[in-house]
Amino acid sequence: DGGITQSPKYLFRKEGQNVTLSCEQNLNHDAMYWYRQDPGQGLRLIYYSQIVNDFQKGDIAEGYSVSREKKESFPLTVTSAQKNPTAFYLCASSRVGAGNTGELFFGEGSRLTVL
Amino acid sequence: GENVEQHPSTLSVQEGDSAVIKCTYSDSASNYFPWYKQELGKGPQLIIDIRSNVGEKKDQRIAVTLNKTAKHFSLHITETQPEDSAVYFCAASKWYSGVSSASKIIFGSGTRLSIRP
């Protein structure tokens, strides 16, 4: 089945530690995204990438970093510089070009809790 | 920048009744309005969308209406069922064929819909 796989589903971290969230897709989509979800605030864009080896900051990129070395993979690192990292993180992908309908395809999310 | 406001934040309806969720957007250039449904512990999934060249779109029990003049759009769910219980997000964006404009999607804050048996 085609889709987006995020891991881990739950993650606990101590303050001061970096943590990396994995996102893999087998939909052959060019574009990938990371969103943060907090209660009552909808989805906010952290980073996005429309092509391998290129990515752009979203609305709340501070304290986060990404890489896009392969089309299928877009890992997100939550660094110790992120002041309020406890949240639900969602990875998504979409087509680019003629096949792009505007739809985002989401993974099932990773819940990060900082202790 | 674009802003999307969504109301209500929570909604409880009796099974079989209708549910309506409303959104307003600020950027008159927005032309694509998707609705996503997020079930507990899952990622959001597109359930219906509408583009600015139409005023209404229907898919079985769900429908979306768009008023471009007022910059309002709404989701209507008829004959609600327990499986409709979820969080619903509206969104707005400027979409152009051939370009990935998903990065410009702005989401509303979500509505938690509960269906009472």
B26-35 residue pLDDT tens? 999 899 999 9
Phi and psi dihedrals of A85, rounded to 5? -80, -15
Q: Residue holding tokens 């079989």?
A: B16
**Is B110–A33 a contact, with Cβ atoms under 8 angstroms apart?**
no
The dihedral through the CA atoms of A80, A83, A84, A88 has a sign that is: negative
Q: Residue holding tokens 């139409």?
A: B54
Q: How far is CA A113 from CA A86, B38, B96, in A?
A: 5, 21, 38
Interface size, chain A vs chain B, as Cβ–Cβ contacts under 8 Å: 80
More confident residue, A82 or B89: B89
Residue in B4, B100, B105 closest to A100 by CB: B100
The tokens for A114 are 């900082």
Q: Is the pLDDT of residue B104 over 90?
A: no
Query: Quick check: A40 contacting B, CB < 8 Å?
Result: yes
The tokens for A59 are 């609305």
Separation CA B1–CA A106 (nearest Å): 24
More confident residue, B103 or B35: B35
- Can you tell me the mean pLDDT for B65-75? 96
Separation CA A83–CA B109 (nearest Å): 22
What residue type is assigned to position B5 of the chain? E
- Can you tell me the mean pLDDT for B28-55? 92
- Can you tell me the mean pLDDT for A30-37? 94
**Is B41–A109 a contact, with Cβ atoms under 8 angstroms apart?**
yes
C-beta of residue A32 within 8 angstroms of C-beta of residue A68: yes
β partners of residue A43: A37
pLDDT at position B103: 63
Instruction: Tell me how many degrees the CA angle B74-A107-B43 measures, rounded to the nearest 5.
Output: 35
Query: Quick check: B40 contacting A, CB < 8 Å?
Result: no
B111-116 and B86-92 strand pairing: antiparallel
- Can you tell me the mean pLDDT for A24-49? 92
- Cis before A8 (ω within 30): yes
Separation CA B64–CA B55 (nearest Å): 8
Instruction: State the DSSP H helix or E strand holding residue A32, giving kind and residue range, or none if neither.
Output: strand A31-37
Query: Quick check: A27 contacting B, CB < 8 Å?
Result: no
Q: Is the pLDDT of residue A108 over 80?
A: yes
pLDDT at position A100: 73
**Is B98–A107 a contact, with Cβ atoms under 8 angstroms apart?**
no
Q: Is A92 exposed, middle or buried (0-12, 13-18, 19+ CB in 10 A)?
A: buried
Confidence of residue A2 (pLDDT cuts 50, 70, 90): confident
What is the separation of C-alpha A90 from the centre of its chain, rounded to a whole number of angstroms?
A: 5
β partners of residue A93: A32, A105
